[in-house]
Structure 1
Amino acid sequence: MSDFVGRMTLVRLREVAILIAVLLLPLYAALPLVTRLASAADSSAAPLAVPLSNSFTYQGKLTQASADASGPFDFQFFLFDAAAGGAQVGATITTPAVAVTNGLFAVQLNFGDAAFSGDTRWLEVRVKASAAASYESLGRQQLTATPYALYARAAAVATTASVATVAQSVPWSGITGVPAEIADGDQTGPTYTAQSPVALVGNAFGFSTVGCTAGEVWKYSGPGNTWSCDADASGTSYSAGEGLTLSGSQFAVAFGSNGVAATASRSDHNHLGRILVWKPRDGGTGCCEHKWGRH
């Protein structure tokens, strides 16, 4: 196997193919952002039928003993954050029995959503013939970005952005569908003023206390239909006259028991247990004058 590894090299054509694939890798990573930007720029554009995945195509050319390799080969791909050592990013991708024809091969790689966040990455490739026992490393290669992928990383317009170094603005004249009430660029809304007796303090309306003293109330009166501050009327006062009593809000007749002037006569005229009767003056013969007396 060591003989195989010593003679197995990646020729310049393979390096060119790998470089092209590597340069396309960040551009692929930017495709979701580019898609969102296009959607934001033209909301009428038809949506994609199938959302993009994180997979990208890796192509290369494998030679063995200065000749193009052919047959099934097993590959392993590792992503690292350093040229040597460092930490592995994402999972190891193993692609068994890859068909290599005249040295050419292509595989699909997916290191996950968080693999390409803008930091430098190195790709390590390991290969072995499908019948061999162990893999041999072909070393690491730094992944570089294409110019347009760099532009996408610092997109001028983005649906969402955690960090923005340049903010774009749209002039008022460039906005369509502006409501008429704010077409002048200033939406102040209706203006309100207070009329007596209402006062406006800040954004709250209430009754004014100007011109009023304690216990007074606002009254609406007069031929001019105006409001004025005046004493709070308590209503007409009533009192009980002779022969009447007033308890709370109820009047009643004051019946006398001894016939005094400030009382009313009883209907049976029975005062102090006595009644008035008509009798003759002579004491009972009925022959002479008659008068009222008590019995």
Structure 2
Amino acid sequence: MRKRILSAITVFLMLYLLIPGTADLFAVALAQGGEVFSSLATVGSAFTYQGQLMDGGSPANGNFDFRFSLFDAETNGTQIGSAIAKNGVPVTGGVFTVSLDFGGGAFDGNARWLEIGVRPGGSSGGFTTLSPRQALTAAPYALFSLSAPWSGLTGVPPGFADGVDNDTTYTAGNGLVITGTQLSADFAGTGSASTVAHSDHDHWGQQWSGTFGRGLTLSGGDTGIFTTASLFGVTGQSTGSNGKGVFGLALNGSGFNVGVSGLSKSTNGTGVSGVAEAASGLTYGVYGQSKSTRGYGVFGHATAASGNTEGVLGRSDSTSGVGVSGFAAATTGTNYGVIGHSPSTSGYGVYGIASADSGTTYGVHGRSNSVNGYGVLGEATAASGTNYGVFGSAASPAGYAGYFVGKVHVLGTLSKLAGSFRIDHPLDPANKYLNHSFVESPDMKNIYDGVTQLDAAGEAWVQLPDWFEALNRDFRYQLTPIGAAMPNLYIAQEIANNRFKIAGGVPGMKVSWQATGIRHDPYAVQNPIPVEEDKPADERGTYLYPTGYGQPPEMGVDYQRNADLHAEMPDLPDESANPQE
């Protein structure tokens, strides 16, 4: 937007005073050819502002949007009241006229400056602030009103006609006390109602109401309101579409303070209970919000040192509901929808139970929509001991401790009792599977094979990949003739420069070859797989597959670990418990 410069400003302030004998003199023109107002009309706090707007050195023409702000200083200072927007103001020959009203309290006798912002009419861009701010000066009769004498006023009450405030004698009625010039209410005494209130009188069952703002305000003391009742200590109700039944506000900027605090001493009580009764819509039984960079929207703390307690318990009775839902809305930064933390030596940071005996249920379900996200992240940070980033256990013979759909990468050593691949059977894919076992070796061995054709001398060079010798060592060979017996077939030259030579064969015939090597890349060298090793002290006398050696399942190495795991699991929440009741 091109910058507009306000080159000349004329301000007309209409201030009216009713002065005896001079009413006919108060007729002031706002501008040349402007309307004339009678001094008997009600003026209000609005005033007319006329200015000249220049565009590139020439008077501006067209419609413009203006923003007017009142300040108590020519630069910086404090803004008085709210800014006034005037959109689509016609400007002709550079001249424009608007009516402004900052309220009667804006002008208290102290100097004021007007800051003006302008932009082309109908645009949505920012305003260009014109400089400098314009000082607002008083009209001549407004200056006269600051020192008007008693004799110049009309309608003076009889008691002030002589210019002297006559003394008046006042008598205090029931409940009032006069001490000198001070009038106060008498709250003392009991029995009769001659005082405003007395100590043995309550207002139980009475109601107070207000038309705006606060119906009742109490201050002072440690407790603003304290009530006792057999059913509800405090009940708040709001009929507004965006109201709050009970609202607590802790204004202190430091210390541990609480907007709303609930306490229950019952063995089956609820400190704070929230119920959203609407059968539809997005409702919240309890809603918490924190604007602090280290705050908690909702914080639950179960302080009992024993028993099955819950810091936060969520329950949903819906067929598609969520007991507890966590949502981290920020699109940047390391944030967490739900985070659990347990410092106990046998605790769980997050623990989920799906107690239904049927259906597709999830004890814990994790999901990430990010292109670099983790649906579930497990991390065991202890530098020693047998710990698990993620531990899965399935009690069913047909179950899976871990089931993956997609690629799986293990950055470390994978150990197992057995391994295989399973695919749909090529001859009957709809009804059968085809399984193959892995090829095992005590070494980290790689296998390579192929078929080559011998030349006229019964020889052939086999070229291997460029990285072959960088990855492998301790090579082994196997040759099988194809199409004819070749009793003299042999390796004429071992692997060097990533190739080896076959000789002693029948010219023009084919040979099937196989070469193996043992890995000697940095990871394999630093993490060799021990072929034989002693069991750790806490696993001796147990078996990975006890029934295969005629031992009961209780002798399994993981049997006791799984038993301890399930024994430490917390009880399910009491499904009959309902905070509403």
TM-score (norm 1): 0.43
Please state which structure has a larger fraction of its residues in helix.
1
Query: What TM-score, normalized to structure 2?
Result: 0.23
Greater relative CO (CA pairs within 8 A, separation 6+): 1
State which structure, 1 or 2, has the greater radius of gyration over its C-alpha atoms. 1
Query: Whose strand proportion is higher, 1 or 2?
Result: 1
